[in-house]
Amino acid sequence: MAAQRVEVDGGIMEGGGQILRVSTALSCLLGLPLRVQKIRAGRSTPGLRPQHLSGLEMIRDLCDGQLEGAEIGSTEIIFTPEKIKGGIHTADTKTAGSVCLLMQVSMPCVLFAASPSELRLKGGTNAEMAPQIDYTAMVFKPIVEKFGFKFNCDIKMRGYYPKGGGEVIVQMSPVKQLNPINLTDRGSVTKIYGRAFVAGVLPFKVAKDMAAAAVRCIRKEIRDLYVNIQPVQEPKDQAFGNGNGIIIIAETSTGCLFAGSSLGKRGVNADKVGIEAAEMLLANLRHGGAVDEYLQDQLIIFMALACGVSRIKTGPVTLHTQTAIHFAEQLAKAKFSVKKSEDEEDASKDTYIIECQGIGMTNPYL
């Protein structure tokens, strides 16, 4: 007997691609047929964009599912999942659409496949409105692996706005189930490091200027730590097109990681790009949470699937996080609570504890 189809309103809350990513991943994992309506209804270009479409097609292919309404501009899709299989899966946004967002939608699914998977993801690696691949590799990866799995992320080619052309290969083995996590003890900042890059025709001086401006900005607030930001010229054979940007990471005594990042745009001077990343990092360090604002929503689906109670301490809870929680509760029936942190040191700060009783998803194939 087929499961009852789940109806999702794609126009509520975050109202964009994220609803699609969370709901199709959970639909695939739980074997729930899904209809999403009003996809990106409030956006300037409503409906599916190329990157959303390539993510959906990838999920369809990795579980031999059926997908209706999947074309550019469509505001309604129907997805009927089958069983998740390992092997090689390719997704190509054909644009600068983010490979990191493709990874977000596919990774939870292949953890519960029958055999190991290789995801070949093509598009933008360092693109606007999405995590940069360096964030995924340096912050998301070590933290998400605390759920009890490992993955390998190989950056074959970097790609930038507007052409894309990047390629990342992710390899992972399935798990029986996920362990819950506890990220509530922030510790003190012990290291600050990063990379400022230029690619293509941009002069190396731009990388040096971004790095120097970021270091100056951080020094104003954190005087006692060496800030090591490496300027990098991306090798010609490892970068497609032109781009520049910076990512800065702070590491703490308890292994928490925070980041600030920024991408150069035409007409924006290098100092400004460096300062923007530094200010983002400093803001993420001020709120007293143990994860930064970009990691929050990416952890929700894993917390929902884990076996046991997970807790993370965060700064202000983002709309993306609230959206992910809403759909994890609706589709997976996980139980979340979001409460103001009661620790004394957080009294003056906007700090929260997100707690989740995971559903204890087990891999039927292992």
Catalytic residues: 320
| 15 and 21 Cβ atoms separated by less than 8 Å | no
Q: Is 322 annotated in some ligand binding site?
A: no
Nearby residues of 190 by Cβ (< 8 Å), 6 or more positions away: 225, 251, 252, 253
Instruction: Name the phi and psi angles at 34, rounded to 5.
Output: -140, 140
Q: Beta-carbon neighbour count of residue 278 at 10 Å?
A: 28
Q: Is 295 annotated in some ligand binding site?
A: yes
DSSP-derived secondary structure letter, 301: H
Residue 111 token pair: 């953890």
Nearest to residue 361, comparing CAs of 11, 43, 82, 29? 29
Q: Is 352 annotated in some ligand binding site?
A: no
* Interior/surface letters 22-38, b for 16+ CB within 10 angstroms, e for the rest: bbbbbbbbbbbbbbbeb
Q: Is 104 annotated in some ligand binding site?
A: yes
Q: Which residues pair with 78 in a beta bridge?
A: 35, 68
Residue type, 124: G
Instruction: Name the phi and psi angles at 3, rounded to 5.
Output: -65, 150
Instruction: Name the phi and psi angles at 295, rounded to 5.
Output: -80, -35
Residue 185, SS3?
coil
Residue type, 17: G
Q: What is the CA radius of gyration of the chain?
A: 20
| 174 and 363 Cβ atoms separated by less than 8 Å | yes
Residue 51 token pair: 């990157």
Q: Is 294 annotated in some ligand binding site?
A: yes
| 278 and 212 Cβ atoms separated by less than 8 Å | no
Q: Beta-carbon neighbour count of residue 283 at 10 Å?
A: 14
Q: Is 298 annotated in some ligand binding site?
A: yes
CA-to-CA dists, residue 229 to 134, 166, 190, 265, angstroms: 13, 23, 15, 20
Binding-site residue numbers are 104, 294-298
Binding-site residue numbers for ATP are 104, 294-298
